Amino acid sequence: MTTLFTGYRLGGLALPNRVVMAPMTRVRAAVGGLATPSMARYYAQRATAGLIVSEGAQPSLIGQSNPGTPGLHSAEQVAAWRTVTDAVHVNGGRIFAQIMHGGRVSHPDTTGHRPVGPSAVPAVGDVFTPTGPQPAPEPRALATDEVPEQAESYAHAARRAVDAGFDGVELHGANGYLISQFLSTNANLRTDRYGGSATHRIRFAVEAAAATADAVGAARTGIRLSPGGGFWGVEETDVVEMYTALLAELARLGLAYVHLEATADDETLLRLRRAWPGALIMNPVLPMGPRQTDRAAADRWLGLGADLVSFGRAFIANPDLVERLRTGLPIAPVDETTYYQGGDAGYLTYPAYRHAA
């Protein structure tokens, strides 16, 4: 019988369990987008996960969304990340880097550059900047001949991730960031080969995934998707049609996995599960929604066809989450005020479960 604690072969990795630590922005990077010793300790504490997917790392300066996030576009960043991957591997873990291009969800005060996107349509809401939240600015629409460079930026970052010791990479194709913007029917108003029909709107995602698979190998490449998610004002009016077409193209590449968020109803998600022949990581609850993933939600989705299940917020306050799930120990609550405040409080200060003497 398959359980959360049954091993799984993912690409070239033998995972000891099917618990995945989901990528979560924590804005603890140093100046220059450098990983820190505290980040190394944070991820190493959680190395009992079958797989860790890191917080999003920008593939270029113009791809940076939030201040305080790490990058994968310089030699110094590679060297800094190596301390993180070494710490995870010493503790027996496996870690993929999430590559996240923010696209229009950015600000000149953060990067020194005007954000870019598929069209000159601003995101809905305030974006984080070094001086606090500000309204999302209007991005510069990428010219047709500029789009391939942005797709290739994922591949360049993936090479640096492997050089830094990561076991693979996950493209952030979800939550209203650049890949998601190209998939959208209201953020993408293009009339060239990257816009209009679903076939054209998936092209950027496919090109980014293909370039990355060519760069580091398909077995080291995954992608995260949020069908119908609506983050940052993104709309998708043809969810089943578009994502079915996208998954068919990604299947030809032989990617290591698709990581789906529960941003659509079960019927849609199950149709997409049937359309995807490879490994599926399922994030069973709405990201940042009212519920956290628990053992019951994980078991349910394993029964519905997921191969692995990702846990987000539960991993923040429970570095020993796998053991707590295995033995039925209480899941400690997380202090939401410390998500993005910086420093070690609410980052390295959550202990493993203390048994009574």
Active site residues: 177
Tell me if residue 260 falls in helix, strand or coil.
strand
Q: Which residues contact residue 288 at a Cβ distance below 8 angstroms, ignoring those fewer than 6 apart?
A: none
**Mutual angle of helices 203-216 and 239-253, in 10-degree steps:** 20
Rg (the chain; Cα; Å) = 19
Question: What's the longest Cα–Cα distance across the chain?
Answer: 68
C-alpha angle with apex 120: 116 to 124, nearest 5 degrees?
90
14 sits in which H/E element: strand 13-15
Rounded alpha-carbon distances, angstroms, from residue 352 to 24, 90, 128, 321, 334: 20, 19, 32, 8, 13
User: What φ, ψ does residue 132 adopt, rounded to 5°?
Assistant: 115, 180
Strands 95-99 and 51-57: parallel
| Spatial CA neighbour of 125 closest among 25, 231, 228, 27 | 231
Q: How far apart are the first and last CA of the chain?
A: 34
Structure tokens belonging to residue 108: 């000149």
Contact 58, 16 (CB under 8 A): no
How far apart are alpha carbons 304 and 298 in whole angstroms? 10
3-state DSSP assignment of residue 204? helix
Burial 27-46 (b: 16+ CB within 10 A, else e): ebbeeebbbbebbbbbbbbb
- Determine the Cα–Cα distance for residues 63 and 105; give it in Å rounded to an integer: 9
